[in-house]
Chains A and B, each alone.
Chain A
Amino acid sequence: MTDATISTGQRLRRSLGSHEAILFVILVIALIVLDQLTDRFFTTSNLLNQGRLMTEVALVALPMTYIIITGGIDLSVGSTLGLCAIVLGVTWQNVGLPLELAVVVALATGALAGFMNGWFITRVRVPPLIMTLATLALYRGLAEGISEARSVRGYPEGFYILGQGEVLGVPTQLWILLVAMIVFWVVLEKTTFGRALYAIGHNETAARFSGIPVDRIKLIIYTASGLMAGLSAVIFVSRVTTTRSDMGTGLELDVIAAVVLGGTSIFGGVGTITGTIIGFVLIQLLKNGLALTGVKGDATIIVIGSVLILSILITTLLERRRSRD
């Protein structure tokens, strides 16, 4: 408001650039420090293995970035992952479908779960936070009910290629993640669909009046969120060779932390896929590096929480100073 000469877009781009720059600096410092502390960290095999562990959160973080840019949120992703994992196991083992078909059913379940969120959010106008809070309970409940606390094991050997195998020396799921990152980046940066997401996040009413099909777009991104949670579920099951109804518990917080750490504003209108990528890479490397230097697994989340608060704090303070100038 004080600097009328600078357009909103320019100011946004600058603040965004600065947040990503801060993150990048934190990332580099973390890498250097961790490399000094242990020689097991900066090895190709360790880094690739970390990529493997990161994929499930990363895949869901991509559509979550879209959703948060529009000013929404999806808390049900962890439960959707659990539900899809159970559907995969049950349709394969109990219903007896071929595994390929079971995977398709699991993905469809994820998409349907996301579609249901989107439908209620756009048609019935339930606030996203409440809708996905309710389905967080509902989808996890369905997973528990369908599975009756039984786990499914003994998948055919070929299925494990997805979660444990390698293609050209790189973990299979990293190729999937790479494709997903490119697709989500291109759609957000280069298409009208991507621009519309920012428009909705900035001012939904204005977006509606300028003819943007707001409801359809929201329906698509919530469905995409469910679908990606389903994809994560399939990879997760393949990686850990078993299906349990509590899979993905708390995933939503890891995903939101990665997205927000990456500079996407929880108020909507601001955010990039690049930021989100730095976000989930930073979180995974911090977790791993600290674990390698002897920090207990649970203590690493203290560091992640602190980094999250600090990075937003620094951005907020810089933003303030700039708007005062």
Chain B
Amino acid sequence: MTPATATLPPERPVFDRVRRLFGSQEAVLFLALILLFTIVGSYNERYVADRNLSSIFLGNAYIAVAAIGMSMVIISGNIDISVGSLIGVLATISGTLAVEGYGIVTAWVVPIICSVVFTSITGALVAYLRMPAIVVTLGMLSILKGGLISVTDGAWINNLPEGYGLAQLKPLGIPMPIYFMVVLTILAALWMRYTAAGRAIYAVGGNPEAARLSGISRERTIMMVFAVHGVFTGIAAVLFATQFQTIQSTVPPNLELIIITASVVGGVSILGGTGTVIGSTLAAILLAAIGSALIFIDVSAYWLRAVQGVLILLTVLADLERRRRQRKAL
């Protein structure tokens, strides 16, 4: 990674590729995850026991799913800070439909449709009226949060019907949310890498002027990104709503920050144009695994957030340093 490597003879493509692989944020996160499981696991075996691993993955898969959509939004040069409130509202809609007897499939599908409609409104304001996304979604956050609490008073939704618990299913012994997380991450990664529409997201976020000159419509791309983001948010909300026997109809505190943090730690540049959803999914798992690890190495619960904060900062600094070196090596 020294500047000298730039003069490497071109006949060593394998070496080059390996080097590039380990220079990626995804590889760094993956190694960090392996190291974490090995070190903490050898200190306390219960950390890598099935039960704990499944609670790490199961309890946070919906965050990873939401972070996929968020990553797309951030890569396109925008942001959505209303996502936590939206998930709260959608979970309540889903639970209410189920309890009122509209059928389980309706309770799973309608929130996703509502989600797309809602994020499309946000997308239209951002794309066609050129309002800054952070301002629009800040307003939406207030509207959703205020609306939810004033309608429901934060009541618990109980007596969910039999079979509603999508996130509690375990086909082949593996919890359902993990299937969703893995399949959606792969699909999204392939879509963003190999289709024109997916590439357009990077183009619009990285260099809007160049994108325009090459015939990519900024408006249509941003509109599409927000609509797709709505699909992922909707699925995340259904996974969130169906994980327990009961749903509290409030906005999960700080959820938007957790989701944005997963995207950013996953290597998505807040300035737009770079990052992958594989990184954001790995980061969502890593953040959850760190939180869990701290308990197993006897860090006082009161200090959890502080340690997490330091780790987020370190990840960001490591990522900046890596990018700087790569730029030098070019």
Seen from chain A, the residues whose Cβ lies within 8 Å of a Cβ on chain B are 120, 124-127, 129-131, 133-142, 144-145, 147-149, 249, 253, 256-257, 260, 265-267, 296, 298-306, 308-309, 312-313, 316-317, 320
* Interchain CB contact under 8 A, B125 and A309: yes
What string of 1s and 0s marks CB contacts (under 8 Å) between B147-159 and chain A?
1011000000000
Min C-beta distance of B32 to chain A, whole Å: 16
Q: How far is the CA of A134 from the CA of B81 in the complex (A)?
A: 15
With A127-B271, A144-B306, A145-B300 known as contacts, the answer to whether A302 contacts B147 (CB < 8 A) is yes
* Interchain CB contact under 8 A, A299 and B305: no
* Interchain CB contact under 8 A, B306 and A142: yes
Q: Which chain A residue shows the least CB distance to B143?
A: A305
- Which has the most chain B C-beta neighbours within 10 Å: A149, A256, A302? A302
Seen from chain B, the residues whose Cβ lies within 8 Å of a Cβ on chain A are 81, 125, 129-132, 134-136, 138-143, 145-147, 149-150, 253, 257, 260-261, 264, 270-271, 300, 302-310, 312-313, 316-317, 320
Q: How far is the CA of A109 from the CA of B130 in the complex (A)?
A: 39
Q: Which chain A residue shows the least CB distance to B324?
A: A125
Q: Tally of A-B residue pairs with Cβ under 8 A?
A: 138
- Point out the residues of chain B lying under 8 angstroms from A253, CB to CB: 81, 138, 141-142
- Point out the residues of chain B lying under 8 angstroms from A134, CB to CB: 309, 312-313, 316
* Interchain CB contact under 8 A, B143 and A313: no
* Interchain CB contact under 8 A, B313 and A308: no
Give which listed residue, B129, B132, B303, contacts A267 with CB less than 8 A.
B132
- Point out the residues of chain A lying under 8 angstroms from B150, CB to CB: 296, 298-299, 302
* Interchain CB contact under 8 A, B308 and A141: yes
- Point out the residues of chain A lying under 8 angstroms from B304, CB to CB: 141, 144
- Point out the residues of chain A lying under 8 angstroms from B300, CB to CB: 145, 148
Min C-beta distance of A286 to chain B, whole Å: 11
Q: Which chain A residue shows the least CB distance to B299?
A: A145
Min C-beta distance of A269 to chain B, whole Å: 13
Interface of B is mostly: helix
* Interchain CB contact under 8 A, A144 and B305: yes
* Interchain CB contact under 8 A, B142 and A137: no
- Which has the most chain B C-beta neighbours within 10 Å: A141, A266, A267? A141
- Point out the residues of chain A lying under 8 angstroms from B142, CB to CB: 253, 257, 301-302, 304-306, 308
Min C-beta distance of A143 to chain B, whole Å: 9
Min C-beta distance of A241 to chain B, whole Å: 23
* Interchain CB contact under 8 A, B302 and A135: no
* Interchain CB contact under 8 A, B138 and A144: no
* Interchain CB contact under 8 A, A313 and B131: yes
- Which has the most chain B C-beta neighbours within 10 Å: A129, A142, A256, A309? A309
* Interchain CB contact under 8 A, A299 and B146: yes
With A136-B257, A141-B307, A305-B141 known as contacts, the answer to whether A312 contacts B131 (CB < 8 A) is yes
- The 20 sampled A-B contact pairs (Cβ below 8 Å) are A130-B316, A134-B312, A135-B309, A135-B313, A137-B261, A138-B306, A138-B309, A138-B310, A138-B312, A141-B305, A144-B304, A145-B302, A145-B306, A249-B253, A260-B138, A296-B150, A301-B143, A305-B141, A305-B142, A320-B130
